[in-house]
Amino acid sequence: MPLDVSPPSVQPPSVWYGQAALSASILVACLLGIYSRPLGFMAAFWPANAIFLGLLLRHPELARRPGSWLYALLAYIAADLLTGSTLFTALTLNLANLIGVLAGWLFLARVRNQVLGFKHQRSVMTVFLACLLASAVCTLAGAWPSALAFHLPLWQSALLWLSAEFYNYVLILPVFLAAPSGWPWTWQVPKQQRSWNDALPLLALVLSEAFSQLIGGHGAMAFSMPAMVWCAMSYGVFPITVLSLLVCLWKTGLLAVSSFDFVPEHLDDVLSYRTGLAMLSLAPLAVACAYTLRMQALQKLHHAVHHDSLTGVLARSALLERGQKLLSRLEEEGQSVAVLMLDLDHFKQVNDHYGHAQGDVVLQTFAQLASEALRPDDLLGRLGGEEFAILLPRTQREQALAVGQRICERLRNHRFPLEDGAPFQVTLSIGLHAVMSIGKQDSIEQLLSKADAALYLAKRSGRNQVRQYGPELAPSSI
């Protein structure tokens, strides 16, 4: 019987890299939580479970591999053993951590696309329920061994565990769900142009926190809420999750230094503070989510109103409106402009021979080809049917002629495939009118009219060409 000498299957390097990064992240987070423990008690801050769940949701390929869960458990146990815990304590408490993360994963995996980036109105409520579920399951599994390890009554152990888990999940998990793609050290926040006014919400947040520390009292915890809502409306979902985490950690640190420790003797204060702070952190997140979705809906509506639904280029009214504004700006600058009128040759025959669906494909393809030949400041719009117009600011006649010829060539060389026949091609006729210096008498309608006269000449001269407006096309005076 021949021996099987084929090489053993090896997991892709990306999987090993992900599992190693996951385990390392959990180990560091566990050590951070362990060193936040008051002497002889449970951790005041335990980020490991929320980080674990967040990374699994961002990288579902790891969650589907048993090795990821095993390596994570080993990282949990290693952190406890390295800091002096017994094997029983390390094993039982961290199995409870793993069970809680699993419960949160099973709940959120079904709606992963909904909660990533908080792209749905119910995303915040869904994450809240997941945090509550993961915390409750983890508490059920870990309250008893925790009571034994820290010599607490079972009910005290359960309440401390539940409040800590819920607090950590609500503060940390949204950061991972709203963050850019990739691992935390590869996150790249989109760059946007900002002014000094954009720093006002952050300044208001700093001042409100300073004011809350100056006044003090139980209600001071909510002093920063108006500023947080302002930040949510100004900065968006991901920044507000980071700000909420930093503000809550700041409050928790100050409280631990000045007021009470997170120990059973202060159980009522600990439960009230953790739960209240976690609940308050959800409000700015809900505002940021709703505001972002509203702005996206308005952008879609604005695009639908001002753009042609078939080709995606500017609609006739939007082209005329933006074109006139562009002419006014160019007139003030003393700049030139060129206008192109474009018409697909024999487009009616395309619809008659190949069907209107294929005709729509031709229009969409032409709009894409033309857009690729233009600059970002150029305006392309559909006037109706197969007729389009282009405005080229700061463009001389020769440059505009080269643009028109390039668009003609791109369309002429493109082949439109058919399922049951040879591909066909479409040609284009273009009329061009260029103005060296825009005067008061020049309007967008007049420029388009002159370019249309040149387009008519191109069609009359055999189509598939660019013709320029000249004195011979000017209307005769009476």
For residue 104 the two structure tokens come to 């949160």
Nearest-5° Cα angle at 76, 72 to 78 = 110
The yes-or-no verdict on residue 13 having pLDDT over 70 is no
Q: What is the pLDDT of residues 228-278, one digit of tens each?
A: 999 999 998 999 999 999 998 888 777 766 665 555 666 667 777 888 888
Decide: pTM greater than 0.85: no
Q: What is the pLDDT of residues 94-147, one digit of tens each?
A: 999 999 999 999 999 999 888 888 988 889 999 999 999 999 999 999 889 888
Q: Read off the pLDDT of each residue in 187-215 and give the average, rounded to a whole number.
A: 80
Question: Residue 404 in 3-state DSSP?
Answer: helix
In 212-360, which ranges are E strands?
A: 337-344
Please list the residues that pair with 431 across neighbouring strands: 341, 467
Domain ranges of the chain: 13-183+197-303, 316-473
For residue 380 the two structure tokens come to 């392309």
Q: Give the pLDDT band of residue 177 (cuts 50, 70, 90).
A: very high
List, as one string, the DSSP characters of 156-171. Answer: HHHHHHHHHHHHHHHH
Q: Read off the pLDDT of each residue in 6-12 and give the average, rounded to a whole number.
A: 44
Point out the least confidently predicted range of 1-15, 85-99, 115-129, 271-285.
1-15
Q: Which of 2, 326, 32, 279 is nearest to 131 (CA)?
A: 279
The yes-or-no verdict on residue 39 having pLDDT over 70 is no
For residue 424 the two structure tokens come to 């066909």
Report the alpha-carbon distance of residue 395 to residue 406 in Å, rounded: 15
The DSSP element (H or E) to which 428 belongs, if any, is: strand 428-435
- 32 versus 183: the higher-pLDDT residue is 32
Return the percentage of the chain with pLDDT > 90, whole number. 54
Q: Give the pLDDT band of residue 2 (cuts 50, 70, 90).
A: very low
List of residues 6+ apart from 360 with CB closer than 8 A? 310
CB atoms within 10 A of CB 398: 10
pLDDT of res. 3 = 38
Q: Give the pLDDT band of residue 223 (cuts 50, 70, 90).
A: confident
Q: Give the pLDDT band of residue 478 (cuts 50, 70, 90).
A: very low
pLDDT of res. 192 = 64
Nearest-5° Cα angle at 474, 377 to 462 = 75
CATH H-level superfamily of 316-473? Reverse transcriptase/Diguanylate cyclase domain (3.30.70.270)
Q: 210-243 b/e with 16+ CB inside 10 Å = b? A: eebeeeeeeebbebbeebbbbbbbbbbbbbbbeb
For residue 477 the two structure tokens come to 């005076």
pLDDT of res. 213 = 79
